Structures are given as structure tokens and as C-alpha cells.
Amino acid sequence: MNINQCIKRRKSDRIYVGNVPIGNNAPISVQTMTNTETTDITSTIQQIINLKHVGADIIRISIPTMEAADAFKKIKNQVDIPLIADIHYNYKIAIKVLNNGADCLRINPGNIGNKRKIKQVIDCAKYNNVPIRIGVNSGSLEKDILEKYKSPTPEALLESAMRHIDYLDNFNFDQFKVSVKSSNMYIAVKAYKLLAKQITQPLHIGITESGGFRNGTVKSSIGIGLLLLDGIGDTIRISLAENPIEEVKVGFDILRSLNIRLKGINFIACPTCSRQEFDVIKTVKILEKRLEDVTTPMDVSIIGCSVNGLGEALTSTIGITGYRKDSVLYKDGVRQLSRIKNNQIIDELEKEIRNKSKKLLSLT
């Protein structure tokens, strides 16, 4: 069943971050953030290239200083993926980076000073035709809002977001998206649901500071999954205390698991037991790594024995079912006559998957 057919996405306006559409039924984009020193231009460019390689649609970069804003210009000139500049408090840095080619500004207008400063930033964003993301975070709520609600509740996050949105409204600026993130999944989910009823702009969703790789992946998958199943969310970022490459991979895994956006290989593999005829876990691990550049959507089943192998292979693009010494290959559910020696499964599967990917690409 295509679950996506059951999801009714929230109606939202369309904005563009560079050439990536966000909102109004655009594909849900996956973004992440660099964690190199922005002023270390070589390392930052290399990380951006690596993140693009695994499929990132958009990349955000922290711009804490004027030097970082200068570095941003050089970085932007050498990469071909939309870049969001992340600014806190300093309106001069915001203006500089807008003029240096930012594709989007992450900034909370209420935090950058008086109306004159806010107007200058918004005028510059309008002039450069660049959208803004308001990013409310449970860890940095305004003092008065925290005093009112005693803790960063969903209602507190909503009030903060609406306050920042009012600033943009007052200057007739509607090219923005909003996030209301909390490290508490329940709070984040409720805050997004409240916000979704208040505005028509796209929503950037995520569970902030969700933790290390395993814990953060579980928390993010549940929180983001609940929202997406409710039709809420136009772009996602997974926040992990990990290499940002993993954030991108987890983001696409979530979208693929929900059948929302199919990109890359969906590995179907058994958990293994004493019946396995070849090392399934090692095979999957190696192929996941080797094939991370393949963006063509396809199901690949890697099953250790015939108990479940045939059933999975019949519905997969490519499938292998373990037998003693030589295993059986299936292509589009059709059993192939020649068998694959168990010690050659990894190389043979890689070859088959790449060939299939090329064929599928040539048809599009």
C-alpha cells in the first residue's frame, strides 16, 4: 500500500531556497548543517561536497562573525547547492551575508534590535529575493515568554514564533518558513500542530538536539514521522550529535519509510539466524557504504535463506536468497538461472544494482 496516498498534506505557500521549492506540495527537502569552522573555507567546501554526494538538498552554515560572512562568499562561489546562512542577533552580519549570496537567512527578527535594524535586514532580503527562516528553539526562548509559561511549553514556542512572524508581517514580508523545535518530542509535535493552524507559510520540522546517533534517530523518526503522517512539514532537518552525513541519510530513510519521497536504495534484509547461508549483516553494511551515491529508488532484498528469501525477492527490484555455496538472484521478481557464489555476493550485487540504476535513469 502506498501510505503516502493516505497522507493529506497541509496546504502551504511556496517559497524557494535557491532553486529548491519548499511548500505547496513540493517534494519534502532534506537539509543539514556544516560543523566545520566556516572560516576554514577548504574544509567547509569539502564537507558541503560530501553532504551533496549523499543527497542533501540544502545546507545551512553558521555565520557568527564578519570573517565568517566573508568566507561564506568564497564558499558560495565554489559549490552548487543552496546555502542558508545562520545568523543570531547581529543585523550587520545578516545584511553582509545577504549581499554575499545567501539563498536563505535563518534569523529571528525579534532578536536583532530595534525596528530600524529589522527593516534594514528585511529590505535587503526583499532586494535580494531571499527568504527567511524563523527558527524558534526551546533552548533559547525569550525571557518574558519563559517567565509567563514557566517552561518551554508548546504554547510558549508558538507565542515566540508568532511574535517573530509579526515583525515580518509588519514589513509586508511573506517569504518565510518557520520552525518551533524542542528536544522534547511531545512538545515539538504539539507546537508544530498549533503553529500549522495559525499560518500558511511552509514549516521546517525537526526535533532539536535529539542526541547521539541511535537515540536521536529514534526520537527524530517518531517525532518527524508523527508530523509527516499528519501532513505537517515541508522541509526536514535531523539534529544528531554525529557527522551531518548521517543526518541526511536518516532524513531520507524517514521519508522513504513513509513512502513520501523515494530516493536511493531501500534495503530489505533479514536479522539473520543460524540458517543464514552467507554473512547478511556484513553484506548489507558494505553495500550501504559502497552504494550511498546511488539515488535511483529501488528495493533490494538481502535474505540469508529460503525461508523468507523468495517472498521478499518477488517484490524487490533486485533480490538475493541464500543457499549453500551458491545463492539465487532475482531481478524484478524473476529468478535468474545462473547462481552467485556466496563469496562473490557483494561484488555481484553491486554490479547488478548499478546496472539497474543506469537502466532506470535512462528511462526518465
Rg (CA), the chain: 23
Q: Which of 115, 214, 275, 282 binds ligand SF4 (CB under 6 A)?
A: 275
| Residue 104 assigned as binding residue | no
On whether the CB atoms of residues 66 and 96 are closer than 8 A, the answer is yes
Nearer to ligand SF4, 17 or 349 (CB): 349
The minimum distance between CB 322 and ligand SF4, in angstroms, equals: 7
Nearer to ligand SF4, 153 or 283 (CB): 283
Could you say whether residue 191 binds ligand SF4 (CB under 6 A)? no
The minimum distance between CB 277 and ligand SF4, in angstroms, equals: 7
| Residue 6 assigned as binding residue | no
On whether the CB atoms of residues 263 and 297 are closer than 8 A, the answer is yes
| Grid cell at residue 105 | 537567512
Could you say whether residue 157 binds ligand SF4 (CB under 6 A)? no
Size of the site for ligand SF4 (CB under 6 A): 11
Residues 231-270 that bind ligand SF4 (CB under 6 A): 270
Alpha-carbon span 176 to 167, nearest angstrom: 12
> Is the C-alpha dihedral spanning 1, 266, 308, 274 positive or negative?
negative
Q: What type of residue is 298?
A: M
Nearer to ligand SF4, 251 or 319 (CB): 319
| Residue 270 assigned as binding residue | yes
On whether the CB atoms of residues 327 and 321 are closer than 8 A, the answer is yes
Nearer to ligand SF4, 153 or 301 (CB): 301
Question: What does DSSP say about strands 104-106 and 132-137: parallel, antiparallel, or unpaired?
Answer: parallel
On whether the CB atoms of residues 15 and 23 are closer than 8 A, the answer is yes
DSSP per-residue codes, 263-297: -SEEEEE----TT-SS-HHHHHHHHHHHTTT--S-
Question: What does DSSP say about strands 132-137 and 176-181: parallel, antiparallel, or unpaired?
Answer: parallel
Nearer to ligand SF4, 222 or 307 (CB): 307
Q: What contacts 150, CB < 8 A, 6 or more positions away?
A: none
The minimum distance between CB 262 and ligand SF4, in angstroms, equals: 25
Q: What contacts 94, CB < 8 A, 6 or more positions away?
A: 85, 87, 105, 107, 112, 121, 124
Could you say whether residue 272 binds ligand SF4 (CB under 6 A)? yes
The minimum distance between CB 312 and ligand SF4, in angstroms, equals: 8
Nearer to ligand SF4, 24 or 308 (CB): 308
Question: What does DSSP say about strands 326-331 and 318-321: parallel, antiparallel, or unpaired?
Answer: antiparallel
Could you say whether residue 8 binds ligand SF4 (CB under 6 A)? no
Element (H, E) at 71: helix 66-77
The minimum distance between CB 325 and ligand SF4, in angstroms, equals: 15
Element (H, E) at 265: strand 265-269
On whether the CB atoms of residues 293 and 53 are closer than 8 A, the answer is yes
Q: Which of 276, 281, 299, 348 binds ligand SF4 (CB under 6 A)?
A: 276
Q: Which of 3, 218, 241, 273 binds ligand SF4 (CB under 6 A)?
A: 273
Query: Could you say which DSSP state residue 55 is in?
Result: T
| Residue 124 assigned as binding residue | no
- Which x/- pattern over 283-322 shows residues binding ligand SF4 (rule: CB under 6 A)? --------------------xxx-xx--------------
The minimum distance between CB 300 and ligand SF4, in angstroms, equals: 15
Could you say whether residue 95 binds ligand SF4 (CB under 6 A)? no
Of 204, 305, 211, 319, the closest CA to residue 265 belongs to 319
SS3 state of residue 151? coil
Nearer to ligand SF4, 66 or 273 (CB): 273
The minimum distance between CB 306 and ligand SF4, in angstroms, equals: 7
- Sites of contact with ligand SF4 (CB under 6 A): 270-273, 275-276, 303-305, 307-308
Annotated binding site for [4Fe-4S] cluster: 270, 273, 305, 312
